[in-house]
Amino acid sequence: MSTPKALITGILGQDGAYLAQFLLEQGYHVYGLMRRYSNPTFENLQYLGIADEVEYVSGDMSDEASLLQIVKFTQPDEIYNLAAQSFVGSSWDQPRLTTEINGLGTLHLLNAMKIFAPYARFYQASTSEMFGGGSDENGEQTELTSFYPKSPYAISKLYAYWITVNFRESFGLYATNGILFNHESPLRGKEFVTRKISDGVARIKLGLQNELRLGNLDSKRDWGFAGDYVKAMWKMLQQEEGSDYILSTGESHSIREFLDIAFGYVGIEDWTPYVTTDPRFKRPAEVKTLQGKSDKARAQLNWEPEVSFEELVTMMVDADLQRLKSEPTS
């Protein structure tokens, strides 16, 4: 049997790195789409020790010609569309760019697959942000909960969600949406609240920083571990046909709870003297609570998250402590 080929967009991001690692372990040849940078950072892939095992292809989600060329050249069996302007806060500052990359970029990639690799299987990185906090009577989100996007990011992702469904229904493509709730790891970008906290707590513990400035501490999120979630992305592409699945832990925790565990782990029981609320980190519209019900994925994909909330928080703080001890200027 020939080696299966996967194309991952967003290869340098958090999920791109974990997914590449998982697919390489399964025996895939992994193509990673990265955009041109004068000084690209392979930090995440290096952290996992796989930077030299991926074949990089140069393209940009906002450049349709590059995507047509890449799909024609790579002839992938599976396409994982993870590339995005993924930071909700920035989407108010750069709404058009966010829409072009996340929304139209997905259309371009699906179109490239339709023309040059219609046999391939497509995974779209959809998001719990599309719900905007709407829920069923139990306060949870399911695959049937109505969407009510509250940011330009969420709106761009809603377009991508529906164009994926549309290509499945219109052209018979195998196209799947993973509606993923927040998932974190030591590879999470430092602007996201979990990594901002784990990095800040580690710096405070090591005497490199004395304050952590945050926005709304009352938001609640359903936080899982990215390494668990990429396995289900792959499982979604091994089914009889494409469908849409929620991935979540089913638990929701506030940022205050995250702070309790993170500071507690380094021996600081009262974090209030270190944390300042800064209006710059508040959003024009907030998604207050997300808590997903992933029964469909658990039953059909035989998947469940393995890392608990407490394990996730301590894993992240631990990784930042180790990183800062070896590179205090990073």
Catalytic positions: 127, 129, 153
Token pair for 92: 């108010």
Minimal distance, residue 220 CB to ligand G4F, in Å: 8
**x-or-dash string of contact with ligand G4F, 283-312, rule CB under 6 A:** x--x---x----------------------
For residues 108 and 115, give the distance between their C-alpha atoms in angstroms, rounded to a whole number: 11
**x-or-dash string of contact with ligand G4F, 108-127, rule CB under 6 A:** -------------------x
Residue 12 interface partner, choices ligand G4F, ligand NAP, none, CB cut-off 5-8 Å depending on type: ligand NAP
Q: Does 215 bind ligand G4F (CB under 6 A)?
A: yes
Q: Does 91 bind ligand G4F (CB under 6 A)?
A: no
236 phi and psi angles, rounded to 5 deg: -60, -25
Q: Which helix (H) or strand (E) holds 260?
A: helix 255-265
Show contacts with ligand G4F in window 142-201 (CB under 6 A): 181-182, 191-194, 196
Instruction: Return the exposure string of 144-178: e unless at least 16 CB atoms fall within 10 Å of the residue's CB, then b.
Output: ebebebbbbbbbbbbbbbbbbbebbeeeebbbbbb
Residues 136-142: contacts with CB under 8 Å, at least 24 apart: 136/293, 138/293, 139/289, 139/291, 140/250, 140/291, 140/292, 140/293, 141/246, 141/248, 141/290, 141/291, 141/292, 141/293, 142/246, 142/292, 142/293, 142/295, 142/296
Residue 215 interface partner, choices ligand NAP, ligand G4F, none, CB cut-off 5-8 Å depending on type: ligand G4F
**What does 45-91 look like in DSSP terms, one character per residue?**
HHHTT-TTTSEEEE--TT-HHHHHHHHHHH--SEEEE------TGGG
Show contacts with ligand G4F in window 241-270 (CB under 6 A): 255
Residue 78 interface partner, choices ligand NAP, ligand G4F, none, CB cut-off 5-8 Å depending on type: none
For residues 28 and 50, give the distance between their C-alpha atoms in angstroms, rounded to a whole number: 13
Binding ligand NAP (rule: CB under 6 A), the pick from 173, 180, 204, 321 is 180
Residue 140 interface partner, choices ligand G4F, ligand NAP, none, CB cut-off 5-8 Å depending on type: none
Query: Which residues are 175's β-sheet partners?
Result: 122
Q: Does 10 bind ligand NAP (CB under 6 A)?
A: yes
Binding ligand G4F (rule: CB under 6 A), the pick from 69, 94, 216, 300 is 216
Q: Which is nearer to ligand G4F, 128 or 176 (CB)?
A: 128
Residue 214 interface partner, choices ligand NAP, ligand G4F, none, CB cut-off 5-8 Å depending on type: ligand G4F
List contacts with ligand G4F (CB under 6 A). 86, 88-89, 127-129, 181-182, 191-194, 196, 214-216, 219, 221, 255, 281, 283, 286, 290
